[in-house]
Amino acid sequence: MKKLILTSFILAGALSLCACGNTGTSSAESGSSEAVNSSENSGNESSADNSEVSSDSSEDVSSESTGNSTDGKKVLVAYYSATGSTKAVAEYIVNATGGDIFEITPAVPYTLEDLNYNNSDSRVCKEHDSADKTVELSNATPDNWSDYDTVFVGYPIWWGEASWVTASFVKANDFDGKTVIPFCTSASSGLGNSASDLAKSANGGTWQYGMRFSSSVAESDVTDWVNSLGL
């Protein structure tokens, strides 16, 4: 499967990956964004259908804002970003919602060499090949976590799946009673099952669509998407 992702990357002229790992999805997208209904876990794309899925089953709180969105519900934008693209989208979402922002921070930050997917001995390649990709976080739970009604959860796509840094944040927290809206950036891969896989692994929450954006998406595209959510 990884070879399919590799092929997508190469075709997109964006990236090449190291010879490690064996998971991930093969979908590749060259458009600026896509939406996937995680409730169906099918990869069907739609930007209009707002159906939901219930999964019943850092220290960098860098904003001092209240997290209030326009209807009084408290919004948090939690994200991990290794190289800044997902961070930019997170900030666009904050601009559109007035929510608070929380950077998901690994206890041991990733260096550029750690992220070198062309080196089979790099940290990401070794982690990708490991059975348990759980990453220790410097602060797994945002301050006042129980106050938030809506949580955007952001991540870069790594080998067709959500970065396991964000996946570790999802597993570490109780989402019961919260609306959760995943978003991600990638060079070319689509959302695939990355968002629905996070929903499956989560402790509760009503998980809405995931949205994938290209690494250099314009703020207006992100704002349009946020406005379409009817928050």
Ligand X SMILES: Cc1cc2nc3c(=O)[nH]c(=O)nc-3n(C[C@H](O)[C@H](O)[C@H](O)COP(=O)(O)O)c2cc1C
- Under the rule (CB under 6 A), what is the footprint of ligand X? 5, 15, 24, 81-87, 115, 117, 124, 156-160, 185-189, 215
Alpha-carbon distances, residue 63 vs 45, 59, 98, 157, 175 (angstroms): 33, 11, 10, 25, 21
Q: Considering the complex, what minimum distance in angstroms separates the CB of residue 82 from ligand X?
A: 3
* Cβ atoms of 43 and 192 closer than 8 Å: yes
Looking at the Cβ atoms of 25 and 150, the one nearer to ligand X is: 25
Q: How far is the CB of 84 from ligand X (least distance, A)?
A: 5
Nearer to ligand X, 150 or 189 (CB): 189
Q: Concatenate the DSSP letters of all residues of 27-70 into one string.
A: -B--SSEEEE-TTTTS--B-SS----EE-----B----S--B-T
Q: Return the number of the residue (96 or 217) whose C-beta is nearest ligand X.
A: 217
CB of 83 to ligand X, least distance (A): 3
CA distances from 17 to 3, 62, 72, 84 (A): 9, 33, 44, 19
Whole-number Å distance between alpha carbons of 31 and 186: 11
Minimum CB distance to ligand X, residue 216 (Å): 8
Is 4 or 229 the residue whose CB approaches ligand X more closely? 4
Q: What residues have CB less than 8 Å from 15, skipping those under 6 apart?
A: 9, 117, 187, 188
Tell me whether residue 37 or residue 86 sits nearer to ligand X (CB atom).
86
Closest distance to ligand X from the beta carbon of 56 (Å): 30
